[in-house]
């Protein structure tokens, strides 16, 4: 019995030490995995960063924005958006206007800027909306502007609500205006209101909510 009493504290100490080292080990493994030639491997490595709170994580994700494969860039963008990484707004905004950025990546960039909700993203999203985009792209941009909630977007949203050729986009623009004015809560505000502990919510759930919104938007196009 005396022997058992001496061993247990040692086991507990090892478990605590292992828990503390886990983020470091994960980040180390991810950095190595991101050098793999297979894009699918690089995507899977980024997924390991979802739940980590280490400050180095966002930097790794931002570095992956320049990955040569669109799938990797999209995954990095989505996770940064779900993490509400304000420091990623400037590089993501710049990517929106690079000719080398694929249209599907731009769509995810706009959605991520909306999720983050930083006012720095307003002008880039407005410029994106002002370009000749398809219906889904315009709808995503309008939704993002509503989520950011800046008064700077009011004039453009009014124009879209009145003149856009798509009923779906006009409806989203009206909802965005209500969000900006405070008459309608943003998705981010509803999440916080529903559970004050959502600060620790797995990013999977946040991404799933936006994907559900995207599906509704697609269904409304049919």
**In this model, does residue 209 exceed pLDDT 70?**
no
Query: Average of pLDDT values for 111-132?
Result: 95
Query: What is the distance between the alpha carbons of residues 127 and 124, in angstroms, rounded to a whole number?
Result: 5
Question: pLDDT of 59-101, one tens digit each?
Answer: 999 999 999 999 999 999 999 999 999 999 999 999 999 999 9
Question: pLDDT of 138-194, one tens digit each?
Answer: 999 999 999 999 999 999 999 999 999 999 999 999 999 999 999 888 887 777 666
24 is written with which tokens? Answer: 């470091």
Query: What is the distance between the alpha carbons of residues 59 and 56, in angstroms, rounded to a whole number?
Result: 5
Q: Which residue has the tokens 């793999």?
A: 36
180 is written with which tokens? Answer: 């900006």
Looking at the chain, the number of H-run helices and the number of E-run strands are 12, 0
3-state secondary structure of 90: helix
100 is written with which tokens? Answer: 């080398």
Query: What is the distance between the alpha carbons of residues 141 and 110, in angstroms, rounded to a whole number?
Result: 6
Q: Taking a C-beta distance cutoff of 8 angstroms, is the pair 42, 72 a contact?
A: yes
Q: Give rounded-to-5 percent helix, strand, coil for the chain.
A: 80, 0, 20
Q: With CA atoms as reference, report the closest residue to 220 among 185, 175, 173, 169.
A: 169
Question: pLDDT of 1-31, one tens digit each?
Answer: 444 444 445 555 544 544 555 888 999 999 9
Rg (alpha carbons) of the chain, rounded to whole number: 21
Query: pLDDT band for position 217 (50/70/90)?
Result: low
Q: What is the mean pLDDT of the chain?
A: 85
DSSP 110: H
Q: With CA atoms as reference, report the closest residue to 146 among 136, 134, 135, 158.
A: 158
């Amino acid at each position: 019995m005396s022997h058992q009493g001496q061993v247990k504290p040692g086991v507990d100490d090892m478990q605590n030490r292992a828990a503390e080292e886990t983020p470091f080990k994960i980040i180390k493994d991810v950095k190595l995995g991101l050098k793999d030639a297979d894009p699918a491997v690089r995507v899977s490595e980024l997924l390991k960063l979802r739940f980590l709170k280490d400050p180095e994580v966002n930097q790794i994700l931002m570095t992956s924005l320049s990955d040569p494969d669109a799938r990797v860039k999209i995954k990095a963008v989505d996770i940064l958006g779900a993490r509400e990484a304000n420091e990623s707004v400037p590089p993501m905004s710049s990517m929106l206007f690079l000719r080398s950025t694929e249209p599907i990546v731009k769509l995810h960039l706009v959605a991520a800027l909306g999720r983050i909700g930083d006012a720095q993203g307003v002008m880039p999203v407005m410029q994106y909306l002002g370009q000749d985009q398809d219906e889904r792209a315009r709808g995503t941009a309008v939704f993002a502007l509503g989520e950011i909630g800046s008064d700077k977007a009011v004039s453009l949203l009014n124009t879209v609500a009145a003149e856009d050729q798509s009923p779906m986009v006009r409806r989203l623009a009206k909802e965005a205006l209500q969000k900006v004015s405070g008459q309608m809560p943003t998705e981010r505000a509803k999440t916080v209101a529903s559970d004050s502990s959502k600060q620790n919510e797995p990013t999977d759930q946040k991404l799933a909510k936006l994907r559900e919104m995207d599906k509704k938007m697609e269904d409304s196009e049919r």
